[in-house]
Homo-oligomer: A and B are copies of this chain.
């Protein structure tokens, strides 16, 4: 039924080995036989069997992509399609395919990664998140399996290749940006502190307050979980402080949209009464009301570069550890007001 290397060999009057070498474009085969064999391959509509190739050559030409546990960052968030687009773009250029993790819970994801690694399903893995004390990451590190991360690892920094934004710095810059526009009471609505991206941004925010000698009360910081559970209440409380903030930094545009809505309920207008700035610059942030000032974090590049460095590792086990920071770009729209 299926045409194999043997059929091609017979038809072209060469050995299977030669056909195999033609497929790999081995330079030791004469152009003449190459041409002849290729002709036969075309005529018989021969396509190499992926599985057989992988088994014999001990490589798979595919990379595994692991998303964070789905209730958190991954879904409903435009980050995902965009980072995948970056990954696919780079992978495709090197003829690599993408194998996607499908697990729901953290344990399922871990099991899937183990079976990807042990079962030789993929040549390398990209972790699309960085979590504090992540079992999956520790496993990959210990087995010395090629992997890269989108996001700075919590520890073992010097052993792990990753791609990230400079989250501490961009959060610091964001506060400075507000400071320059006259803001002195600056609140921060953070992300899930189990993810390093969230702790980094929080740290950058805090450091910026210290550096600018601004009030640094815990009242100005709202945790992800508190916000998720009772967002309107927490915003309510925030605005009822003796010195309510004049500006809010949100961990993500989705969070910013929600804040705007809760403020609306309180008849507080953005940016007239309070300014909001945010990170990640979703495609829709130009369309919300008011259009959101947000930091573009180059999601495509995060995926692209993570893949690039992974492929280097796959092709060369001795490839050096790389920490690559991707550029960001503040998109100023209408959610922030100068009160200087």
Contacts and interface: CB of A to CB of B under 8 A. Distances in A.
- Counting chain A residues whose Cβ lies within 8 A of the other chain, the interface size class is 35 or more
A156 interface: no
Contacts of A45: 118
Contacts of A81: 74-78, 80-81
A108 interface: yes
A248 interface: no
Given A92-B108, A289-B288, A52 B50 contact: no
A279 B164 CA distance: 35
Interface centre among A74, A77, A97, A254 (most CB of B within 10 A): A97
Interface string A31-51: 000000000000001011111
Contacts of A78: 76, 78, 81
A164 B118 CA distance: 38
7 contacts: A47-B119, A51-B51, A76-B81, A92-B108, A260-B287, A261-B287, A284-B284
A228 to B, nearest CB: 14
A91 B102 CA distance: 7
Contact of A284 (B82, B87, B102, B254): B254
A86 to B, nearest CB: 11
A309 to B, nearest CB: 17
Interface string A270-312: 0000000000001110111100000000000000000000000
Interface in A81-98: 81-82, 84-85, 87-89, 91-92, 96-98
A140 interface: no
Contacts of A70: 85
A51 B62 contact: no
A54 interface: yes
B97 A99 contact: yes
B99 A62 contact: yes
B50 A119 contact: yes
A89 B282 CA distance: 26
B119 A49 contact: yes
Contact of A51 (B55, B74, B101, B288): B55
A88 B105 CA distance: 12
A323 B175 CA distance: 54
Nearest to A48: B119
Contacts of A2: 120
A185 interface: no
Nearest to A108: B92
B50 A121 contact: yes
A330 B13 CA distance: 66
Contact of A289 (B97, B100, B114, B289): B289
Contacts of A258: 287
